[in-house]
Structure 1
Amino acid sequence: MTDALLEVRGLRAGYGETKVLCGVDLTVAPGEIVAVLGSNGVGKSTLNRTLSGIVRARDGSIRFDGASIEKEKPPAIVERGLIHVPEGRRIFPNMTVSDNLDLGSYRRATARRAQNRERVFSIFPRLRERTSQYAGTLSGGEQQMLAIGRGLMAEPKLIILDEPSLGLSPLLVEELFTLIGRIRADGVAILLVEQNVVQSLEVADRAYILAEGVFVMSGAAAAIAADPELKRAYLGL
Protein backbone atom coordinates (compact mmCIF):
# COMPACT_ATOMS: atom_id res chain seq x y z
CA MET A 1 0.00 0.00 0.00
CA THR A 2 1.95 2.99 -1.30
CA ASP A 3 -0.20 5.62 0.42
CA ALA A 4 -0.13 3.98 3.86
CA LEU A 5 -0.30 6.25 6.88
CA LEU A 6 1.11 3.44 9.04
CA GLU A 7 3.33 0.76 7.54
CA VAL A 8 4.79 -2.04 9.66
CA ARG A 9 7.25 -4.57 8.22
CA GLY A 10 8.81 -7.62 9.91
CA LEU A 11 8.07 -6.32 13.40
CA ARG A 12 9.42 -8.37 16.30
CA ALA A 13 9.04 -7.47 19.96
CA GLY A 14 8.76 -9.02 23.40
CA TYR A 15 9.74 -8.81 27.05
CA GLY A 16 13.09 -10.05 28.32
CA GLU A 17 13.63 -13.52 26.88
CA THR A 18 10.01 -13.85 25.86
CA LYS A 19 9.21 -13.40 22.19
CA VAL A 20 5.70 -12.05 21.57
CA LEU A 21 5.58 -10.59 18.07
CA CYS A 22 7.36 -12.82 15.59
CA GLY A 23 7.50 -10.74 12.42
CA VAL A 24 4.26 -8.95 11.57
CA ASP A 25 3.37 -6.77 8.57
CA LEU A 26 0.51 -4.31 8.75
CA THR A 27 -0.73 -1.20 6.95
CA VAL A 28 -3.34 1.45 7.70
CA ALA A 29 -4.35 4.02 5.10
CA PRO A 30 -5.52 7.56 5.93
CA GLY A 31 -9.14 7.54 7.09
CA GLU A 32 -9.31 3.73 7.26
CA ILE A 33 -10.54 1.50 10.08
CA VAL A 34 -8.35 -1.58 10.43
CA ALA A 35 -9.21 -4.24 13.01
CA VAL A 36 -6.65 -6.49 14.68
CA LEU A 37 -8.50 -9.46 16.13
CA GLY A 38 -7.44 -12.32 18.35
CA SER A 39 -7.92 -13.92 21.73
CA ASN A 40 -6.11 -13.04 24.96
CA GLY A 41 -2.37 -13.56 25.01
CA VAL A 42 -1.66 -13.56 21.28
CA GLY A 43 0.23 -10.24 21.25
CA LYS A 44 -2.38 -7.55 20.59
CA SER A 45 -1.39 -5.27 23.47
CA THR A 46 2.30 -5.80 22.72
CA LEU A 47 1.66 -4.65 19.16
CA ASN A 48 -0.03 -1.49 20.43
CA ARG A 49 2.73 -0.75 22.92
CA THR A 50 5.41 -1.24 20.29
CA LEU A 51 3.69 1.03 17.79
CA SER A 52 3.38 3.75 20.44
CA GLY A 53 7.00 3.39 21.61
CA ILE A 54 6.35 1.94 25.07
CA VAL A 55 7.98 -1.34 24.05
CA ARG A 56 11.07 -1.11 21.85
CA ALA A 57 10.99 -3.11 18.61
CA ARG A 58 13.64 -5.82 18.43
CA ASP A 59 13.59 -5.96 14.67
CA GLY A 60 11.62 -4.65 11.72
CA SER A 61 10.40 -1.21 10.74
CA ILE A 62 7.52 1.09 11.68
CA ARG A 63 6.82 4.02 9.36
CA PHE A 64 4.19 6.57 10.27
CA ASP A 65 3.23 9.45 8.02
CA GLY A 66 6.41 8.95 5.99
CA ALA A 67 8.87 8.79 8.92
CA SER A 68 10.56 5.86 10.66
CA ILE A 69 9.43 5.78 14.30
CA GLU A 70 10.59 2.39 15.61
CA LYS A 71 13.39 4.06 17.62
CA GLU A 72 11.43 7.10 18.77
CA LYS A 73 10.14 7.60 22.32
CA PRO A 74 6.42 7.87 23.12
CA PRO A 75 6.29 11.70 23.42
CA ALA A 76 7.79 12.11 19.95
CA ILE A 77 5.35 9.58 18.50
CA VAL A 78 2.43 11.43 20.10
CA GLU A 79 3.67 14.69 18.61
CA ARG A 80 3.58 13.07 15.17
CA GLY A 81 -0.12 12.31 15.63
CA LEU A 82 -0.17 8.60 16.53
CA ILE A 83 -2.29 8.34 19.68
CA HIS A 84 -2.79 5.19 21.77
CA VAL A 85 -5.92 4.80 23.92
CA PRO A 86 -4.84 1.91 26.17
CA GLU A 87 -6.84 -1.01 27.47
CA GLY A 88 -8.46 -0.28 30.83
CA ARG A 89 -9.26 3.39 30.08
CA ARG A 90 -6.49 4.83 32.33
CA ILE A 91 -8.42 8.00 33.07
CA PHE A 92 -7.52 10.14 36.11
CA PRO A 93 -10.37 9.38 38.54
CA ASN A 94 -9.77 12.29 40.92
CA MET A 95 -9.79 14.88 38.16
CA THR A 96 -12.83 16.28 36.37
CA VAL A 97 -13.93 15.27 32.91
CA SER A 98 -12.82 18.66 31.62
CA ASP A 99 -9.34 18.33 33.14
CA ASN A 100 -8.93 14.80 31.78
CA LEU A 101 -9.76 16.06 28.30
CA ASP A 102 -7.34 18.98 28.57
CA LEU A 103 -4.51 16.59 29.42
CA GLY A 104 -5.01 14.97 26.03
CA SER A 105 -3.70 18.12 24.36
CA TYR A 106 -0.63 18.44 26.58
CA ARG A 107 1.81 17.38 23.84
CA ARG A 108 -0.18 18.28 20.73
CA ALA A 109 -2.83 20.78 19.62
CA THR A 110 -2.73 22.90 22.79
CA ALA A 111 -3.60 26.06 20.86
CA ARG A 112 -6.83 24.47 19.60
CA ARG A 113 -7.89 22.98 22.92
CA ALA A 114 -11.28 24.74 23.04
CA GLN A 115 -12.18 23.79 19.46
CA ASN A 116 -11.14 20.19 20.00
CA ARG A 117 -13.13 19.96 23.22
CA GLU A 118 -16.22 20.97 21.22
CA ARG A 119 -15.34 18.35 18.63
CA VAL A 120 -15.19 15.70 21.36
CA PHE A 121 -18.53 16.84 22.78
CA SER A 122 -20.11 16.58 19.32
CA ILE A 123 -19.09 12.90 19.18
CA PHE A 124 -19.74 12.15 22.86
CA PRO A 125 -22.57 14.51 23.96
CA ARG A 126 -22.79 12.77 27.33
CA LEU A 127 -19.39 14.15 28.30
CA ARG A 128 -20.63 17.71 27.86
CA GLU A 129 -23.20 17.06 30.58
CA ARG A 130 -20.47 15.89 32.96
CA THR A 131 -17.63 18.36 32.43
CA SER A 132 -17.34 19.20 36.14
CA GLN A 133 -17.88 15.65 37.38
CA TYR A 134 -14.97 13.63 38.72
CA ALA A 135 -13.98 11.00 36.17
CA GLY A 136 -13.98 8.22 38.74
CA THR A 137 -17.72 8.68 39.31
CA LEU A 138 -18.61 8.06 35.65
CA SER A 139 -20.08 4.78 34.46
CA GLY A 140 -17.81 2.33 32.66
CA GLY A 141 -19.15 3.38 29.28
CA GLU A 142 -18.69 7.06 30.05
CA GLN A 143 -15.14 6.44 31.22
CA GLN A 144 -14.39 4.73 27.92
CA MET A 145 -15.86 7.69 26.04
CA LEU A 146 -13.66 9.98 28.13
CA ALA A 147 -10.55 7.93 27.38
CA ILE A 148 -11.23 8.09 23.64
CA GLY A 149 -12.17 11.76 23.86
CA ARG A 150 -8.90 12.51 25.61
CA GLY A 151 -7.09 10.85 22.72
CA LEU A 152 -9.03 12.91 20.20
CA MET A 153 -7.95 16.11 21.96
CA ALA A 154 -4.49 15.57 20.44
CA GLU A 155 -5.87 15.72 16.87
CA PRO A 156 -4.67 12.23 15.97
CA LYS A 157 -3.91 11.22 12.42
CA LEU A 158 -4.22 7.64 13.65
CA ILE A 159 -5.77 6.53 16.93
CA ILE A 160 -5.16 3.06 18.38
CA LEU A 161 -8.15 1.79 20.35
CA ASP A 162 -7.05 -1.10 22.59
CA GLU A 163 -10.05 -3.27 23.61
CA PRO A 164 -12.48 -0.34 23.85
CA SER A 165 -15.52 -2.61 24.41
CA LEU A 166 -13.95 -4.55 27.29
CA GLY A 167 -16.24 -4.72 30.32
CA LEU A 168 -19.14 -2.85 28.73
CA SER A 169 -22.74 -4.01 28.53
CA PRO A 170 -24.03 -5.15 25.11
CA LEU A 171 -26.07 -1.96 24.78
CA LEU A 172 -23.06 0.24 25.50
CA VAL A 173 -20.91 -1.80 23.13
CA GLU A 174 -23.41 -1.15 20.35
CA GLU A 175 -23.32 2.58 21.12
CA LEU A 176 -19.54 2.62 21.26
CA PHE A 177 -19.11 1.02 17.86
CA THR A 178 -21.54 3.53 16.36
CA LEU A 179 -19.41 6.32 17.81
CA ILE A 180 -16.24 4.73 16.39
CA GLY A 181 -17.84 5.09 12.98
CA ARG A 182 -18.41 8.78 13.70
CA ILE A 183 -14.74 9.26 14.60
CA ARG A 184 -13.71 7.83 11.22
CA ALA A 185 -16.24 10.09 9.50
CA ASP A 186 -14.33 12.99 11.07
CA GLY A 187 -11.25 11.94 9.08
CA VAL A 188 -9.30 9.97 11.72
CA ALA A 189 -7.74 6.62 10.84
CA ILE A 190 -8.39 3.94 13.47
CA LEU A 191 -6.50 0.80 14.45
CA LEU A 192 -9.15 -1.14 16.35
CA VAL A 193 -7.59 -3.89 18.46
CA GLU A 194 -10.37 -6.05 19.84
CA GLN A 195 -11.73 -9.41 20.95
CA ASN A 196 -15.24 -8.36 19.90
CA VAL A 197 -15.08 -9.99 16.49
CA VAL A 198 -18.57 -9.54 15.09
CA GLN A 199 -18.96 -5.80 15.64
CA SER A 200 -15.33 -5.04 14.80
CA LEU A 201 -15.75 -6.68 11.41
CA GLU A 202 -18.97 -4.73 10.83
CA VAL A 203 -17.28 -1.37 11.32
CA ALA A 204 -13.80 -2.10 9.87
CA ASP A 205 -12.62 -1.82 6.27
CA ARG A 206 -9.94 -4.48 6.65
CA ALA A 207 -8.89 -6.90 9.37
CA TYR A 208 -5.88 -8.89 10.53
CA ILE A 209 -6.15 -12.08 12.58
CA LEU A 210 -3.36 -12.40 15.17
CA ALA A 211 -2.45 -15.81 16.61
CA GLU A 212 0.68 -16.59 18.64
CA GLY A 213 2.54 -13.49 17.57
CA VAL A 214 1.90 -13.65 13.82
CA PHE A 215 -0.86 -12.58 11.49
CA VAL A 216 -2.43 -15.75 10.16
CA MET A 217 -4.89 -13.98 7.87
CA SER A 218 -5.69 -10.52 6.58
CA GLY A 219 -8.12 -9.06 4.09
CA ALA A 220 -11.35 -7.20 3.63
CA ALA A 221 -13.41 -7.29 6.82
CA ALA A 222 -16.50 -8.44 4.91
CA ALA A 223 -14.62 -11.40 3.43
CA ILE A 224 -13.29 -12.49 6.82
CA ALA A 225 -16.74 -12.13 8.39
CA ALA A 226 -18.20 -14.40 5.69
CA ASP A 227 -15.64 -17.21 6.13
CA PRO A 228 -17.06 -19.71 8.67
CA GLU A 229 -13.96 -21.92 8.69
CA LEU A 230 -11.72 -18.96 9.44
CA LYS A 231 -13.91 -17.89 12.32
CA ARG A 232 -13.91 -21.38 13.80
CA ALA A 233 -10.18 -21.89 13.42
CA TYR A 234 -8.85 -18.58 14.71
CA LEU A 235 -11.63 -16.63 16.39
CA GLY A 236 -13.49 -19.31 18.34
CA LEU A 237 -16.84 -18.56 16.74
Structure 2
Amino acid sequence: MLEITGIHAGYGQMAVLRGIDMRIGPGEIVALLGSNGVGKTTLNNVISGFIVPSAGEVRFDGERLTGRRPREIVAMGIAQVPEGRKVFPNLTVAENLELGAFRRAGARKRQNFDRICAIFPRLSERLEQLAGTLSGGEQQMLAIGRGLMSEPRLLILDEPSLGLSPLLVEEMFALVTRINAEGVAVLLVEQNVMQSLGVAGRAYVLEQGQLVMQGTAAEMLADPKLRQAYLGL
Protein backbone atom coordinates (compact mmCIF):
# COMPACT_ATOMS: atom_id res chain seq x y z
CA MET A 1 0.00 0.00 0.00
CA LEU A 2 2.68 2.51 1.04
CA GLU A 3 6.14 2.39 -0.55
CA ILE A 4 8.94 4.67 0.63
CA THR A 5 12.08 4.55 -1.49
CA GLY A 6 15.42 6.30 -0.92
CA ILE A 7 14.01 9.23 1.06
CA HIS A 8 16.42 12.01 2.03
CA ALA A 9 14.91 14.99 3.81
CA GLY A 10 15.63 17.67 6.37
CA TYR A 11 15.27 21.33 7.20
CA GLY A 12 17.30 23.78 5.17
CA GLN A 13 20.91 22.63 5.24
CA MET A 14 20.26 20.18 8.09
CA ALA A 15 19.87 16.61 6.83
CA VAL A 16 17.59 14.45 8.99
CA LEU A 17 16.64 11.40 6.91
CA ARG A 18 19.32 9.59 4.92
CA GLY A 19 18.02 6.99 2.48
CA ILE A 20 14.85 5.58 4.04
CA ASP A 21 13.21 2.51 2.45
CA MET A 22 9.97 1.23 4.01
CA ARG A 23 6.75 -0.47 3.01
CA ILE A 24 3.35 -0.97 4.59
CA GLY A 25 0.92 -3.53 3.21
CA PRO A 26 -2.88 -3.32 3.31
CA GLY A 27 -4.27 -4.05 6.77
CA GLU A 28 -0.87 -4.11 8.50
CA ILE A 29 0.21 -2.51 11.74
CA VAL A 30 3.82 -1.44 11.26
CA ALA A 31 5.77 0.11 14.12
CA LEU A 32 8.46 2.75 13.57
CA LEU A 33 10.62 2.75 16.68
CA GLY A 34 13.33 5.11 17.79
CA SER A 35 14.40 7.61 20.41
CA ASN A 36 13.36 11.24 20.44
CA GLY A 37 14.91 13.36 17.70
CA VAL A 38 15.98 10.59 15.28
CA GLY A 39 13.65 11.66 12.45
CA LYS A 40 10.40 9.78 13.05
CA THR A 41 8.16 12.86 12.84
CA THR A 42 10.12 14.15 9.85
CA LEU A 43 9.32 10.92 8.01
CA ASN A 44 5.63 11.25 8.95
CA ASN A 45 5.61 14.76 7.53
CA VAL A 46 7.25 13.59 4.30
CA ILE A 47 4.50 10.99 3.88
CA SER A 48 1.81 13.58 4.64
CA GLY A 49 3.23 16.16 2.25
CA PHE A 50 4.35 18.77 4.78
CA ILE A 51 8.01 18.24 3.87
CA VAL A 52 9.24 17.74 0.31
CA PRO A 53 12.19 15.32 0.28
CA SER A 54 15.43 16.24 -1.45
CA ALA A 55 15.63 12.73 -2.94
CA GLY A 56 13.53 9.59 -3.16
CA GLU A 57 9.79 9.13 -3.46
CA VAL A 58 6.69 7.97 -1.62
CA ARG A 59 3.92 6.02 -3.37
CA PHE A 60 0.47 5.08 -2.12
CA ASP A 61 -1.33 2.35 -4.06
CA GLY A 62 1.13 2.99 -6.87
CA GLU A 63 0.34 6.72 -7.00
CA ARG A 64 3.22 9.10 -6.41
CA LEU A 65 2.70 11.22 -3.27
CA THR A 66 5.92 13.19 -3.46
CA GLY A 67 5.12 16.76 -4.42
CA ARG A 68 1.41 16.53 -3.67
CA ARG A 69 -0.22 18.92 -1.23
CA PRO A 70 -1.24 17.62 2.21
CA ARG A 71 -4.95 18.07 1.45
CA GLU A 72 -4.59 15.88 -1.66
CA ILE A 73 -2.88 13.18 0.39
CA VAL A 74 -5.69 13.24 2.97
CA ALA A 75 -8.22 12.91 0.16
CA MET A 76 -6.35 9.82 -1.08
CA GLY A 77 -6.88 8.11 2.27
CA ILE A 78 -3.94 8.94 4.57
CA ALA A 79 -4.55 10.63 7.93
CA GLN A 80 -1.92 11.63 10.47
CA VAL A 81 -2.56 12.04 14.18
CA PRO A 82 0.37 14.28 15.12
CA GLU A 83 2.55 14.12 18.19
CA GLY A 84 1.16 16.32 20.94
CA ARG A 85 -2.46 15.83 19.74
CA LYS A 86 -2.73 19.28 18.09
CA VAL A 87 -6.47 19.62 18.70
CA PHE A 88 -8.08 23.02 18.09
CA PRO A 89 -8.34 24.19 21.72
CA ASN A 90 -10.90 26.95 21.17
CA LEU A 91 -13.30 24.73 19.22
CA THR A 92 -15.67 22.23 20.78
CA VAL A 93 -15.16 18.48 20.67
CA ALA A 94 -17.93 18.21 18.05
CA GLU A 95 -16.35 20.92 15.89
CA ASN A 96 -12.94 19.23 16.05
CA LEU A 97 -14.48 15.96 14.91
CA GLU A 98 -16.40 17.58 12.06
CA LEU A 99 -13.19 19.15 10.73
CA GLY A 100 -11.78 15.64 10.30
CA ALA A 101 -14.21 15.08 7.42
CA PHE A 102 -13.36 18.34 5.65
CA ARG A 103 -11.35 16.77 2.79
CA ARG A 104 -12.71 13.22 2.72
CA ALA A 105 -15.86 11.24 3.63
CA GLY A 106 -17.94 14.39 4.04
CA ALA A 107 -21.06 12.65 2.71
CA ARG A 108 -20.85 10.14 5.58
CA LYS A 109 -19.94 12.68 8.27
CA ARG A 110 -23.00 11.91 10.41
CA GLN A 111 -22.46 8.15 10.34
CA ASN A 112 -18.77 8.51 11.14
CA PHE A 113 -19.53 11.02 13.89
CA ASP A 114 -21.82 8.49 15.56
CA ARG A 115 -19.20 5.77 15.09
CA ILE A 116 -16.48 7.86 16.80
CA CYS A 117 -18.84 8.61 19.70
CA ALA A 118 -19.42 4.86 20.07
CA ILE A 119 -15.69 4.17 20.07
CA PHE A 120 -15.01 6.99 22.56
CA PRO A 121 -18.00 7.27 24.94
CA ARG A 122 -16.14 9.91 26.98
CA LEU A 123 -16.09 12.20 23.96
CA SER A 124 -19.81 11.74 23.41
CA GLU A 125 -20.34 13.16 26.91
CA ARG A 126 -18.25 16.26 26.11
CA LEU A 127 -19.34 17.25 22.61
CA GLU A 128 -20.01 20.88 23.54
CA GLN A 129 -16.90 21.22 25.72
CA LEU A 130 -13.92 23.19 24.41
CA ALA A 131 -11.18 20.79 23.33
CA GLY A 132 -8.54 22.75 25.23
CA THR A 133 -10.24 21.94 28.53
CA LEU A 134 -10.07 18.16 28.05
CA SER A 135 -7.56 15.98 29.87
CA GLY A 136 -4.50 14.75 27.99
CA GLY A 137 -6.02 11.32 27.46
CA GLU A 138 -9.29 12.79 26.21
CA GLN A 139 -7.42 15.07 23.81
CA GLN A 140 -5.60 12.04 22.42
CA MET A 141 -8.94 10.29 21.90
CA LEU A 142 -10.23 13.41 20.14
CA ALA A 143 -7.16 13.62 17.88
CA ILE A 144 -7.56 9.97 16.87
CA GLY A 145 -11.29 10.39 16.40
CA ARG A 146 -10.71 13.41 14.20
CA GLY A 147 -8.32 11.35 12.06
CA LEU A 148 -10.84 8.52 11.75
CA MET A 149 -13.55 10.92 10.56
CA SER A 150 -11.87 10.95 7.14
CA GLU A 151 -12.21 7.16 6.80
CA PRO A 152 -8.46 6.71 6.26
CA ARG A 153 -7.04 3.62 4.65
CA LEU A 154 -3.73 4.37 6.39
CA LEU A 155 -3.63 6.02 9.83
CA ILE A 156 -0.32 7.45 11.05
CA LEU A 157 -0.17 7.67 14.85
CA ASP A 158 2.76 9.77 16.09
CA GLU A 159 3.59 8.96 19.73
CA PRO A 160 -0.02 8.24 20.76
CA SER A 161 1.01 7.05 24.24
CA LEU A 162 3.13 10.12 25.05
CA GLY A 163 2.19 11.68 28.38
CA LEU A 164 -0.57 9.19 29.19
CA SER A 165 -0.99 7.26 32.42
CA PRO A 166 -0.15 3.53 32.34
CA LEU A 167 -3.86 2.64 32.30
CA LEU A 168 -4.57 4.97 29.37
CA VAL A 169 -1.52 3.62 27.54
CA GLU A 170 -3.06 0.14 27.74
CA GLU A 171 -6.34 1.53 26.41
CA MET A 172 -4.55 3.32 23.59
CA PHE A 173 -2.79 0.23 22.30
CA ALA A 174 -6.00 -1.80 22.57
CA LEU A 175 -7.63 0.91 20.46
CA VAL A 176 -4.93 0.58 17.80
CA THR A 177 -5.75 -3.11 17.50
CA ARG A 178 -9.47 -2.33 17.26
CA ILE A 179 -8.96 0.26 14.52
CA ASN A 180 -6.80 -2.18 12.57
CA ALA A 181 -9.40 -4.94 12.92
CA GLU A 182 -11.78 -2.67 10.97
CA GLY A 183 -9.40 -2.81 8.00
CA VAL A 184 -7.34 0.35 8.57
CA ALA A 185 -3.58 0.00 8.08
CA VAL A 186 -1.62 1.71 10.87
CA LEU A 187 1.86 3.23 11.00
CA LEU A 188 2.56 3.32 14.73
CA VAL A 189 5.39 5.74 15.50
CA GLU A 190 6.50 5.19 19.07
CA GLN A 191 9.23 5.12 21.69
CA ASN A 192 7.29 2.53 23.68
CA VAL A 193 8.99 -0.55 22.25
CA MET A 194 7.34 -3.39 24.17
CA GLN A 195 3.78 -2.15 23.76
CA SER A 196 4.31 -1.36 20.08
CA LEU A 197 5.77 -4.76 19.27
CA GLY A 198 2.87 -6.32 21.15
CA VAL A 199 0.38 -5.03 18.55
CA ALA A 200 2.49 -4.62 15.38
CA GLY A 201 3.15 -7.30 12.82
CA ARG A 202 6.43 -5.77 11.63
CA ALA A 203 8.72 -3.01 12.81
CA TYR A 204 11.56 -0.71 11.77
CA VAL A 205 14.08 0.98 14.05
CA LEU A 206 15.29 4.46 13.12
CA GLU A 207 18.56 5.89 14.45
CA GLN A 208 20.16 9.16 13.36
CA GLY A 209 18.04 9.36 10.23
CA GLN A 210 18.72 5.80 9.03
CA LEU A 211 16.92 2.50 9.44
CA VAL A 212 19.20 0.20 11.41
CA MET A 213 16.87 -2.76 12.04
CA GLN A 214 13.72 -4.24 10.57
CA GLY A 215 11.75 -7.47 10.79
CA THR A 216 8.69 -9.09 12.27
CA ALA A 217 7.69 -8.13 15.79
CA ALA A 218 8.76 -11.55 17.05
CA GLU A 219 12.17 -11.24 15.37
CA MET A 220 12.67 -7.78 16.83
CA LEU A 221 11.79 -8.87 20.35
CA ALA A 222 14.29 -11.72 20.09
CA ASP A 223 17.08 -9.51 18.72
CA PRO A 224 19.74 -8.96 21.42
CA LYS A 225 20.77 -5.58 19.97
CA LEU A 226 17.27 -4.17 20.30
CA ARG A 227 16.78 -5.69 23.75
CA GLN A 228 20.01 -4.12 24.96
CA ALA A 229 19.51 -0.71 23.34
CA TYR A 230 15.84 -0.17 24.16
CA LEU A 231 14.85 -2.61 26.87
CA GLY A 232 18.02 -2.66 28.99
CA LEU A 233 18.14 -6.45 28.86
Q: Please give the TM-score of this superposition, normalised by the length of structure 1.
A: 0.95
1:168, CA displacement in angstroms?
0.7
1:229, CA displacement in angstroms?
2.8
- In the alignment, residue 87 of structure 2 is paired with which amino acid? I
Correspondent of 2:195 among 170, 194, 199? 199
For 1:99-138, what aligned pairs fall within 5 Å after superposition?
99-138=95-134
Equivalent in the alignment of 2:25 = 29
Alignment of 1:52 onto 2:85: no
Whole-angstrom distance in 1 between the partners of 2:115 and 2:221: 32
Equivalent in the alignment of 2:76 = 80
For 1:91-170, what aligned pairs fall within 5 Å after superposition?
91-170=87-166
How many positions carry a matched residue from both structures?
232
1:5-56 CA distances to partner (integer Å, 9 max, x unpaired)? 1010111100111110000111111111000000011100100011101011
Correspondent of 1:212 among 208, 212, 226? 208
Correspondent of 2:183 among 187, 192, 199? 187
Unaligned runs of 5+ in 1: none
Whole-angstrom distance in 2 between the partners of 1:30 and 1:152: 17
Equivalent residues of 1:123, 1:182 under 8 A apart = no
Whole-angstrom distance in 1 between the partners of 2:67 and 2:39: 20
User: Bigger shift: 170-179 or 223-232?
Assistant: 223-232
Equivalent residues of 1:123, 1:183 under 8 A apart = no
1:227, CA displacement in angstroms?
2.1
Whole-angstrom distance in 2 between the partners of 1:46 and 1:40: 11
User: Bigger shift: 77-86 or 224-233?
Assistant: 224-233
Equivalent in the alignment of 2:61 = 65
Structure 1 runs of 4+ with >6 Å offset: none
Equivalent residues of 1:86, 1:161 under 8 A apart = yes
1:236, CA displacement in angstroms?
5.4
- In the alignment, residue 135 of structure 1 is paired with which amino acid? A
1:91, CA displacement in angstroms?
0.4
Equivalent residues of 1:159, 1:189 under 8 A apart = yes
Unaligned runs of 5+ in 2: none
- In the alignment, residue 13 of structure 1 is paired with which amino acid? A
Question: Sequence identity, in percent?
Answer: 61
Alignment of 1:14 onto 2:10: yes
Whole-angstrom distance in 1 between the partners of 2:170 and 2:200: 14
- The alignment yields a C-alpha RMSD, in angstroms, of 1.0
1:142-187 CA distances to partner (integer Å, 9 max, x unpaired)? 1000000000000101011011111111111111111111110111
1:122, CA displacement in angstroms?
2.5
Whole-angstrom distance in 1 between the partners of 2:231 and 2:195: 15
- In the alignment, residue 47 of structure 1 is paired with which amino acid? L
